[in-house]
């Protein structure tokens, strides 16, 4: 069946030139430039201030709700495994101890401090502890951003709007990953630098302390160096002399980085990752988080993406550009340099979007606040009394609606993301049930696992794995070998012979061709299938299969919403449904339908897709797309056309639906 079907794949400041001696320290500090008379800084009434503060708190709460999500990061397993490895007294790994294919590959574990921390948290409080720990990291980061923004006069309206946009844009990366610690450290470093640049007494000695911790927690410590360099360069250009204090503490921040288990290799490691920014890099070409937010790789099979976060990023990016001119006029050159670095990183890949938010939000706020909107829009002369009330009122409405949809999972399901609100483990992304079956059946021998499952498998079951998401250990050459093994039977058999593979596990919903080939390959037999994973073993493996299929049930296709004369609610009704009640995507029926469809069992595929539509009330058009494909091949054309008409309401350019409606 050559046509594509829809899948839910897991599927991103210098101020003035005048200086004075201050604090008796003998160091030159800039005097903050006075705000021009035209700067749009509100002085609202006390009542309006309270309302604005409530709106600001509501945005902060929404950001916190985004961070309360089930543990489903594909990387969480190898971080826990490495942390437990170190806590067990095995020391810091030098070569990879967790796979049987890469145990000679060098392993520079720059995240070891983070891994030990979360391993201890997991021991103490399991998944809820991990969620709370990372929630605190997110809240601390945005609290620091707000404190940085308050160092200079600013528009309260712009603060609320930018914080909301920044939180929405960054939430895609609120996962159980060491990046969250880097965002916090970066925000604190920038707070210190902006504070000093504004003429406030600043404990610069904190810079090397932060970098000593940072270099032992995550490789993004180089961003702190970049920030210090930007401010140092601006001070040199302004004063025509070196800021000795900043230079000394900045140099100390570089030197302390060598205090890590790997010495100079740990310092050099982040620079080895720059190849991922190149368009021809195999990681950049095939891994979603390395995709540019300006060039999303969408298709009819994978049409969904987090629209609201991407739109928020585009708004945020546009505002950073608008703010450049007023920042230049106010001589906040450090903000301009920071923008150049962080905007470029965010434009390259989705995973860097939070870096733009953390690095540029305060400067963008100051730049926008310096714009006298009434000069360009005369109706906005009464800026204070109109804009702030409108902004705060709209913000309260938006945050309340979004917050309810987040808590009810409708926010994530709306873009078919696998994230879910809550405190436990996410069974939609991690092969939790499959691992339980592996342990119960005593499956042993070397596995060939999909990269997405490698991290969790290495932590949750005793056998070393084939590959996992530590791309710095994998390397481009082995990654290419892995992809070849999944792409062709000959390469797969060569891999089996080379490594002694005995069983295989992968997410079939995003591996249609592999599943089809494995079903036809008499060297393998399917042993286990659930809503997330399929397990094949070699044909000579002595184990009884556990193929738990849903009970077959006849579904009246003509009675489904939108088919025949049965009415189907509109998109707005489904949206509001997620505000007032918990939303559930029928993932089990949908994914099992994909399994049967890919293995050409049309009758069962149709039953599963029809059941998924029935359970969801017809809320998701991609299920109609798949049911339409089944009905088309069964020759039930009238109902197939009904399905494709629903598809075209949401995806008017769907080529397959357009073609089949013409027949």
Element (H, E) at 20: strand 19-21
163 CB neighbour count, 10 Å cutoff:
24
Rounded CA separation 570/562 (Å): 10
Count the Cβ atoms, other than its own, within 10 Å of residue 551: 5
Q: How far apart are alpha carbons 474 and 481 in whole angstroms?
A: 10
Yes or no: say if 16 and 28 are a contact pair by the CB < 8 Å rule. Answer: no
Tens-place pLDDT, residues 79-90 = 999 999 999 999
Instruction: Please tell me the predicted confidence (pLDDT) of residue 548.
Output: 62
Measure the CA dihedral 487/492/495/496, to 10°: 150
SS3 470: coil
Length of the chain, in residues: 663
Whether residue 630 contacts residue 601, with contact meaning beta carbons closer than 8 Å, is answered with no
Residue 629, CA distances (Å) to 47, 325, 392, 641 in order: 59, 53, 47, 10
What is the C-alpha separation between 460 and 435, in angstroms, rounded?
A: 7
Instruction: Name the token pair of 84.
Output: 């437990």
- CA 169 distance to own-chain centroid: 10
- Name the 3-class secondary structure at 430: coil
pTM of the model: 0.89
Residues in the chain with pLDDT values less than 70: 1-45, 47-48, 275-288, 297-302, 373-388, 547-550
Check residue 280 and give its pLDDT: 61
Say how many C-beta atoms besides its own lie within 10 A of residue 278's C-beta: 11
Nearest to 332 by CA among 455, 424, 235: 235
Contacts of 591 (CB under 8 A, 6+ apart): 8, 508, 509, 531, 532
Q: b/e string for 460-477 if b means 16 or more Cβ within 10 A? A: bbebbbbbbbbbbbbeee
pLDDT digits (tens, 9 = 90+) for 55-99: 899 999 999 999 999 999 999 999 999 999 999 999 999 999 999
* Coil, helix or strand at residue 529: strand
Could you give phi then psi for residue 99, rounded to 5 degrees?
-125, 160
Angle in degrees, CA 625, 630, 636, rounded to 5: 105
Q: For CA atoms 523, 528, 531, 534, give the dihedral sign.
A: negative
Cα separation, 8 vs 623, in Å, equals: 10
Contact in structure between 185 and 210 (CB atoms under 8 Å): yes
Report CA-CA distances (Å) from 272 to 455, 486, 535: 22, 27, 35
Residue with tokens 């088919």: 563
CA distance 655 to 659: 6
Q: What number of CA atoms fall less than 13 Å from residue 89's CA on the CB side? A: 0
Distance spanning both ends of the chain, measured CA to CA: 18
| Cβ proximity of 306 and 417 under 8 Å | yes
Q: In the prediction, which pLDDT does 556 show?
A: 87
Question: What's the pLDDT at 300?
Answer: 58
Chain centre to alpha carbon of residue 183: 13
DSSP 31: P
Inter-CA distances, 340 with 1, 34, 336, 659, Å: 48, 25, 6, 46
Angle subtended at Cα 233 by Cα 229 and Cα 239, rounded to the nearest 5 degrees: 145
Give the CA-trace dihedral at 545, 547, 551, 552, to 10 degrees. Answer: -100
d(CA 207, CA 134): 23
Question: Which residues are CB-contacts of 603 (< 8 A; sequence separation ≥ 6)?
Answer: none
């Amino acid at each position: 069946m050559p046509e594509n079907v829809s899948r839910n794949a897991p599927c991103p400041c210098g101020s003035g030139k005048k200086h004075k001696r201050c604090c008796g320290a003998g160091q030159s500090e800039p005097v903050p430039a006075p705000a021009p008379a035209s700067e749009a800084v509100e002085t609202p009434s006390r009542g309006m201030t309270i309302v604005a503060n409530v709106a600001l708190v509501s945005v902060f709460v929404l950001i916190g709700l985004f961070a309360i999500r089930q543990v489903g990061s594909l990387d969480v397993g190898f971080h826990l495994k490495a942390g437990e490895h170190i806590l067990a007294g095995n020391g810091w790994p030098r070569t990879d101890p967790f796979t049987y294919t890469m145990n000679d590959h060098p392993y520079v574990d720059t995240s070891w401090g983070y891994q030990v921390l979360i391993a201890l948290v997991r021991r103490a409080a399991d998944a809820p502890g991990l969620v709370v720990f990372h929630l605190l990291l997110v809240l601390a980061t945005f609290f620091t951003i707000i404190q940085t923004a308050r160092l200079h006069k600013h528009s309260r309206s712009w603060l609320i709007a930018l914080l909301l946009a920044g939180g929405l844009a960054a939430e895609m990366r609120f996962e159980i990953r060491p990046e969250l610690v880097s965002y916090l450290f970066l925000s604190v470093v920038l707070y210190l630098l902006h504070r000093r640049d504004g003429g406030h007494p600043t404990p610069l000695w904190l810079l090397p302390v932060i970098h000593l911790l940072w270099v032992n927690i995550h490789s993004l410590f180089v961003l702190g160096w970049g920030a210090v360099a930007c401010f140092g360069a601006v001070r040199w250009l302004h004063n025509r002399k070196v800021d000795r204090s900043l230079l000394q503490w900045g140099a100390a921040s570089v030197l302390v980085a060598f205090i890590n288990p790997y010495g100079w290799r740990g310092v050099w490691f982040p620079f080895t990752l720059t190849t991922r920014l190149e368009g021809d890099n195999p990681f950049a070409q095939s891994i979603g988080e390395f995709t540019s937010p300006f060039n999303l790789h969408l298709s009819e099979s994978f049409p969904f993406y987090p629209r609201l976060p991407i739109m928020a990023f585009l708004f945020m990016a546009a505002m950073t550009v608008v703010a450049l001119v007023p920042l230049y006029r106010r001589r906040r050159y450090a903000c301009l340099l920071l923008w150049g670095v962080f905007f470029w990183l965010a434009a390259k890949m989705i995973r860097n979007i939070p870096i733009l938010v953390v690095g540029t939000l305060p400067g963008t706020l100051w730049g926008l606040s310096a714009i006298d909107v009434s000069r360009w829009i005369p109706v906005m002369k009464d800026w204070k009394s109109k804009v702030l009330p409108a902004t705060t009122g709209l913000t309260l409405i938006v945050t309340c609606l979004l917050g309810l949809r987040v808590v009810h999972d409708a926010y994530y399901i709306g873009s078919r993301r696998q994230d879910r609100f809550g405190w436990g483990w996410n069974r939609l992304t991690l092969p939790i049930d499959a691992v339980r079956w592996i342990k119960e059946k005593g499956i042993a021998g070397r596995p060939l696992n999909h990269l997405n499952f490698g991290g969790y498998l290495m932590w949750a079951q005793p056998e070393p794995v084939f590959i996992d998401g530590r791309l710095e250990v994998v390397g481009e050459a082995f990654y290419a070998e892995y992809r070849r093994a999944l792409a062709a039977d000959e390469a797969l058999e060569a891999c089996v012979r080379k490594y002694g593979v005995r069983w295989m596990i992968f997410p079939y919903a995003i591996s249609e061709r592999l599943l089809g080939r494995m079903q036809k390959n008499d060297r393998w037999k399917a042993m286990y299938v659930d809503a997330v994973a399929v397990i094949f073993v070699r044909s000579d493996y002595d184990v009884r299969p556990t193929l738990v299929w849903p009970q077959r049930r006849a579904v009246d296709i003509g009675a489904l919403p939108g088919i025949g004369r049965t009415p189907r609610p509109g998109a707005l009704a489904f949206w509001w449904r997620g505000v007032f009640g918990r939303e559930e995507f029928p993932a089990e029926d949908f994914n099992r339908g994909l399994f049967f469809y890919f293995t050409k069992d049309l009758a069962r595929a149709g039953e599963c897709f029809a059941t998924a539509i029935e359970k969801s009330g017809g809320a998701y058009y991609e299920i109609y797309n798949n049911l339409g494909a089944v009905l088309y091949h069964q020759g039930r054309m009238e109902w197939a056309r009904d399905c494709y008409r629903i598809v075209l309401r949401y995806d008017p350019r769907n080529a397959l639906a357009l073609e089949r409606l013409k027949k």
